[in-house]
Amino acid sequence: MRAVLVGFVLASFASNAQAFEWRAFEWRLGVAYASGLGDVTDLHEDNLRAEGLEADVDLKVPLGITAGLAYDWPSGMRADVTLGPTFFIGGDVSHFELPLGATIGYSFDVGGDASPYVRAGVIHHFASGDYEAGSDPGFIVAAGLDFRRLTFEVAYDNSEVEFETAVCNANNTVCTPSRESLRTYEVIASVFWRFR
């Protein structure tokens, strides 16, 4: 009897509470373009040339897969966790990056046919590869437009990935090891498919 009473009380509170609803979670899966990846391929080519090797590093498809989970409150506040976009560079060199971000924001028309939103938070890139030497977390700000099942978003990411590089003289005869930090994603344009 006690278990039935406790279950009834919990169900009563749960039905009246609007602060947290499972149906307010929204999954996102999409593709994204990141503007700073050309700098990564250029750095790899420069390093190969400094080593006296043929340098032809190309990012064949500059689109990466991205995913996320969003929670929308009835007030318009939102919280997002994002994973990606992920990119691979292969061939003579290898490079892999997968960012993880957490943001809070505001949706201007929750539940509407088209709802503009803004969000800001932190992001960290998990990177590995031939010349990768570390990464520093940064801030991300984004603005987007949620339609019924699609989202279009543009974001700015100021996190950096550090790479080993070589600084050479004009003749490439004397090179000294160095490190260079790049904003590998910087501007990100994404299209998401939304589902609950």
Give pLDDT, residue 82.
98
Give pLDDT, residue 196.
80
E strand residue ranges, 13-62: 25-34
Enumerate the domain spans of the chain: 19-195
Average pLDDT, integer, range 22-38: 89
Average pLDDT, integer, range 89-100: 88
Cβ–Cβ < 8 Å for 142, 104: no
For the segment 124-136, what is each residue's pLDDT rounded down to a tens digit?
Answer: 999 999 899 999 9
Closest CA to 80 of 109, 30, 121, 126: 121
For the segment 37-88, what is each residue's pLDDT rounded down to a tens digit?
Answer: 889 988 888 888 888 888 777 776 678 999 999 999 999 999 999 999 999 8
The band of 176, judged by pLDDT with boundaries at 50, 70 and 90, is confident
Handedness of CA 32, 38, 43, 46 (dihedral sign): positive
**Is the overall model pTM greater than 0.85, yes or no?**
no
Average pLDDT, integer, range 31-40: 92
Sheet containing strand 175-182, strands side by side: 132-136, 160-168, 175-182
- Please, what CATH class does the domain formed by 19-195 belong to? mainly beta
